[in-house]
């Protein structure tokens, strides 16, 4: 998996039209974010540096992305019975 993904204007336009593609794009970027957070966490543990603010910000973004993915999944497949 690449270290980062470049999202083009065409990707954004397609994501606006196609909920399944939007979900795929968000999921890929969530995976990349989680991988970067793990890399940062390991680097912090090895060097003893304190990037807690960056990690906290990344985790908050990951939670927001996961929430968006969950809502999008409900829109695509419909609400689940409780």
Q: What is the structure's pLDDT at 1?
A: 46
What is the chain's pLDDT, residue by residue, as a tens digit (82 residues)? 456 678 899 999 999 999 889 999 999 999 999 999 998 888 877 776 667 788 889 999 999 999 999 998 888 887 655 5
User: Which candidate, 80, 38, 44, 78, places its Cα nearest to that of 58?
Assistant: 38
Show me where the domains of the chain are located.
9-77
User: Which candidate, 30, 51, 27, places its Cα nearest to that of 40?
Assistant: 51
Token pair recorded at residue 1: 């998996």
pTM of the prediction?
A: 0.72
Q: What is the structure's pLDDT at 10?
A: 94
């Amino acid at each position: 998996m690449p270290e980062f993904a470049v999202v083009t204007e065409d990707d954004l336009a397609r994501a606006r039209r196609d909920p399944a593609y939007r979900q795929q794009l968000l999921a890929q970027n969530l995976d990349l974010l989680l991988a970067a957070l793990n890399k940062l966490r390991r680097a912090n543990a090895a060097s003893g540096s304190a990037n807690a603010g960056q990690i906290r910000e990344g985790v908050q973004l990951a939670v927001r992305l996961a929430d968006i993915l969950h809502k999008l999944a409900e829109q695509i497949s419909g609400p689940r019975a409780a």
